[in-house]
Structure 1
Amino acid sequence: MNPSATSHHPTVDVHAHVLIPALQQAVAENDPEGFAALQALEVRRNGPESMANSGLMIKERWPQLTDLNRRLADMDSQGVDVQLVSPSPSHFYYFAAEELSLTLARQANEAVRDYVNNAPERLNGLGLAPLQHPHLMVEALDHAVLECGLLGVEIGSFAGTPGDPERTTVELSDPRLEPFWSRAEELGAIMFLHPFGCSLDERLDRFYLANTVSQPAENAVALSHVIFSGVLDRHPELKILAAHGGGYLPTTIGRSDHAWKVRPEAQRCAEPPSSYLRKIFFDSLVHNPRELRSLVEASGPGQVLLGSDYPFDMGSERPVDDVHAAGLPEAEAAAILAGNATRLGIAAAATLNTRATAQGA
């Protein structure tokens, strides 16, 4: 057990990724036109300089993305006991047609399950669900949670039209997602909101703005759709975990509250938007001690969990140290590192399996 953990709870990193090369191969073979269109869109959105640098970064970090022993060694070095592993968001492939999208989701779920099963005392996992096909989301979620034993699924901030990834057709406020939210709430499944891509396109195609600006902007937009549409009023026990500290929203929520007061079209949620920050969970990956303190103040210390974005270069190589650097009260830091994950039901797969066996005895 890592000495930074409390005597009762392990230190848990809820934002860590694994690459699944077979998934990309399946997409390229089954929908080469859609895959080529997505690649062209990514070049346009990111620009050639960022695409080239990202390619070098992935090449350098390939062992961390695929080699379990390297991952476990890095976790030991970071002081992390348990990682909640999710597929790289590049695997969303929201352009895929219905049959292929379910195949990809099942393949991703099974790949994460198999990866976790190689170190169940240190890992747990999240799967995928095809956001571009809301009527298929429940089936994919059931497969991830009930058949593969994962804790939930990772979803993007929006989905494009199947066959046309440039045109947004599914926002998280979409009424067609209601059965999905209901099932997730019923299962107690975690919905890990992790953006990939941004509809601002070429406006962000230099200086790596396609990541530094788009990720927090997309988090803010997606969470605003959830809040203002009343999703959390209808599903108060829904477990939404937002990457990157929820982006721009938590620390600029005053403008949302003001809109809720003065604009009729912004009053479709029952309470001021800021109140819902106490119902959403956030990772700690904000890259700045002051911003982490502000996030804790906005959401409450019970809503923030340790996140590193392992092993990407926009993540943190010392996530535990980053939490301590914020100078939070000891109890709040302990909650972020360990206690909140335990409360949310996040633990190593082996721990949960042992608990379930004991309860069933």
Structure 2
Amino acid sequence: MTIPTVDVHAHVLLSEVDQLVEGLPGLAAARELDARRNGAEALAVNGGMIRERLPLLTEVVRRLAAMDTEGVDVQLVSPSPSHYHYWADAEVARAMCETANTAVAKHCAHAPARLTGLGLVPLQHPGLAVQMLDHALSEGLAGVEISSHAPGRELSDPAFEPFWELAAETGAILFLHPFGCTLDERLDRWYLSNSVGQPTENAVALSHLIFSGVLDRHPGLKLVAAHGGGYLPTHLGRADHAWRVRPDARGCAHEPSHYLRHLWFDSLVHDPHVLRELVRAAGADRVLLGSDFPFDMGTTDPLAALRAAGLTGPDFHAVRGGNAAALLNLSAKEPR
């Protein structure tokens, strides 16, 4: 049996969602916050970058051609995080998530053997998030993409317990992908909002899930962290020490590093030495190939980035696609 090459971190831009929220009062405030967090220089660069990549983000034929060039057999396609819109009220949030879920399913239906999709849920409305996870699964999607927090709610919030429970029961994939950083204007120059902010948000979100005991209560969760989990997986020694010596840090049953073996991480860390350490810390069976297709903060050659880590043959092929194929229940495909 051959193993497909599977990229679990690839995005789609949904014009249907943009049209639905355009002109709503909350959108202007959200864009103002985004501008403050990123800074004017970053926003100017982002506009051109998105325009240049728009065909790859929207056209299935162009996506498949790029996948062929990269040697990728299967993509797990998630909405651009710009579609989260966690400012929306319940009515708008329901319409937006249903629209996004249906649009992603339609996009992937053009090439079902090569594209598997993820939908969206409104984290700002935990009860509705449960319903929208159900909706995403009913559309044939593998799960949903979530950010690192919602306004006023961390992922450790007890209100999310029914959401975690349903995700664990159904085997839904939860792709943890931050959008924006709460350090705000401190990161508004030199694109620190992304290069520092995203890995910070990953680390904070995963820490809330670990220390609050969410992973103890829902051991069946299939949670994949983008960007290699940010700073967390390779810097857990301090957290383990806090857990051992401080009773106020002991909200989980085991040392924090124990839970790395109960999560999945994509390989997008931009450094072969860090990737090797991620594999060591989490285990080769917990790392999945990721490219952040087609954004500029990703890689256009995820296999080359993986080869640079110098993993053993079995570990290389596990990360290349074996782990994702098992996680997504993919049928065997010819590797490239």
TM-score by length of structure 1 reads: 0.91
Q: Does 1:157 align with 2:151?
A: no
Give the structure 2 partner of residue 189 of structure 1: 172
Aligned-pair identity (%): 60
Give the structure 1 partner of residue 37 of structure 2: 45
User: Whole-Å Cα distance in 1 between the matches of residues 57 and 6 of structure 2?
Assistant: 18
1:263 offset after TM fit, Å?
1.4
**Which of these residues, 327, 336, 340, is aligned with residue 310 of structure 2?**
327
Read off the aligned partner of 1:336 and give its amino acid letter.
Answer: V
Q: Which secondary structure does the structure 1 equivalent of 2:236 belong to?
A: helix
Q: Which secondary structure does the structure 1 equivalent of 2:234 belong to?
A: helix
1:346 offset after TM fit, Å?
4.8
- Give runs of aligned pairs for residues 282-293 of structure 1, distance below 5 A: 282-293=265-276
**Which of these residues, 245, 265, 289, is aligned with residue 248 of structure 2?**
265
Q: Which secondary structure does the structure 2 equivalent of 1:240 belong to?
A: strand
Would you say the 8 A contact 2:16–2:103 is kept in 1? no
Read off the aligned partner of 1:43 and give its amino acid letter.
Answer: A
4+ aligned runs moved over 4 Å, structure 1: none
Q: How many residue pairs end up in the alignment?
A: 333
Q: Which secondary structure does the structure 1 equivalent of 2:7 belong to?
A: strand
- Give runs of aligned pairs for residues 218-237 of structure 1, distance below 5 A: 218-237=201-220
Give the structure 1 partner of residue 115 of structure 2: 123
Read off the aligned partner of 2:129 and give its amino acid letter.
Answer: M
Q: 1:242 to 1:24 in 2, by over 3 A?
A: same
User: Whole-Å Cα distance in 1 between the matches of residues 298 and 73 of structure 2?
Assistant: 18
User: Whole-Å Cα distance in 2 between the matches of residues 240 and 229 of structure 1?
Assistant: 16
**Which of these residues, 2, 10, 25, is aligned with residue 8 of structure 1?**
2
Give the structure 2 partner of residue 24 of structure 1: 18
Q: Which secondary structure does the structure 2 equivalent of 1:86 belong to?
A: strand
Give the structure 1 partner of residue 26 of structure 2: 34
User: Whole-Å Cα distance in 1 between the matches of residues 82 and 134 of structure 2?
Assistant: 22
User: Whole-Å Cα distance in 2 between the matches of residues 180 and 84 of structure 1?
Assistant: 21
1:264 offset after TM fit, Å?
1.2
Give the structure 2 partner of residue 207 of structure 1: 190
User: Whole-Å Cα distance in 1 between the matches of residues 237 and 262 of structure 2?
Assistant: 17
TM-score by length of structure 2 reads: 0.97
Give the structure 2 partner of residue 238 of structure 1: 221
Read off the aligned partner of 1:300 and give its amino acid letter.
Answer: G
Give the structure 1 partner of residue 293 of structure 2: 310
Q: Does 1:111 align with 2:94?
A: no
Would you say the 8 A contact 2:121–2:145 is kept in 1? yes
1:185 offset after TM fit, Å?
0.3
Give the structure 2 partner of residue 55 of structure 1: 47
Would you say the 8 A contact 1:124–1:347 is kept in 2? no
Read off the aligned partner of 2:8 and give its amino acid letter.
Answer: V
Give the structure 2 partner of residue 356 of structure 1: none
CA-atom RMSD in angstroms: 1.2
Structure 1 residue ranges without an equivalent (≥5): 1-6, 161-168, 352-361
Q: Which secondary structure does the structure 2 equivalent of 1:37 belong to?
A: helix
Q: Which secondary structure does the structure 2 equivalent of 1:126 belong to?
A: strand
- Give runs of aligned pairs for residues 333-348 of structure 1, distance below 5 A: 333-347=316-330
Q: Which secondary structure does the structure 1 equivalent of 2:104 belong to?
A: helix
**Which of these residues, 266, 284, 295, is aligned with residue 301 of structure 1?**
284
Give the structure 2 partner of residue 92 of structure 1: 84
1:220 offset after TM fit, Å?
0.1
Give the structure 1 partner of residue 93 of structure 2: 101
Would you say the 8 A contact 1:108–1:127 is kept in 2? yes
User: Whole-Å Cα distance in 2 between the matches of residues 323 and 346 of structure 1?
Assistant: 22
1:342 offset after TM fit, Å?
1.9
1:347 offset after TM fit, Å?
2.9
Q: Write the deviation string for residues 125-149 of structure 1: whole angstroms up to 9, x where unpaired.
A: 000000001111110000001x201
User: Whole-Å Cα distance in 2 between the matches of residues 204 and 123 of structure 1?
Assistant: 35
Would you say the 8 A contact 2:9–2:266 is kept in 1? yes
User: Whole-Å Cα distance in 2 between the matches of residues 108 and 90 of structure 1?
Assistant: 12
Would you say the 8 A contact 1:84–1:125 is kept in 2? yes
